[in-house]
């Protein structure tokens, strides 16, 4: 923002009349020129709502002052990401050309490896899948891995 020249009135601030009035009252309270009770009465809101409004105003002020730096950082990171993506594509093409030049076959597509189930888990799964029959427990011939079998 530039300083106004001598003899010229300052440029009007953007925003509606109600927003400007609220901003002026919040600044008056923060500077100590106006008590909170009077400010909330002028705005037609409760003191609790005034504190909420004041908090929003301060957050907006901080965000407005912090935003240019954050925008520049974000823009720089986006530019770097695009450059790195182009570099990856260039290197992938170089790898393919090199493989073709030395007659290497293209790499096999990787398959997702299945997780190996530990032996204890297999036993529990087998126990859960096992369906008891009516003869289990009565004659002891229901299965070979049951506790009642004897060889």
Domain segments of the chain as ranges: 17-101
Q: Which residue has the higher pLDDT, 18 or 110?
A: 18
* Token pair recorded at residue 65: 């002052």
Quick: pLDDT tens for 61-120.
887 777 777 788 888 999 999 999 999 999 999 999 998 899 888 777 777 777 776 666
Quick: pLDDT tens for 19-49.
889 999 999 999 888 899 999 999 999 999 9
Q: Give the dihedral of Cα atoms 132, 137, 139, 144; nearest 10 deg.
A: 60
């Amino acid at each position: 923002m530039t300083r106004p020249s001598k003899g010229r009135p300052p440029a009007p601030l953007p925003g509606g009349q109600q927003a400007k009035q609220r901003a002026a009252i919040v600044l008056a309270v923060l500077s100590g020129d106006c008590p909170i009770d009077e400010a909330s009465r002028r705005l037609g809101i409760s003191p609790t709502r005034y504190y909420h409004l004041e908090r929003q105003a301060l957050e907006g002020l901080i965000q407005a002052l912090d935003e240019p730096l954050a925008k520049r950082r974000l823009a720089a990171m986006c530019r770097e990401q695009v450059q790195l993506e182009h570099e990856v594509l260039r290197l992938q093409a170089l790898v393919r050309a090199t493989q073709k030049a030395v007659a290497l076959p293209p790499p096999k597509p990787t398959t997702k490896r299945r997780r190996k189930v530990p032996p204890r888990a297999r036993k529990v799964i087998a126990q859960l899948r096992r369906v008891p029959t009516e003869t289990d427990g009565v004659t002891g011939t229901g299965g070979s891995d049951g506790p009642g079998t004897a060889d």
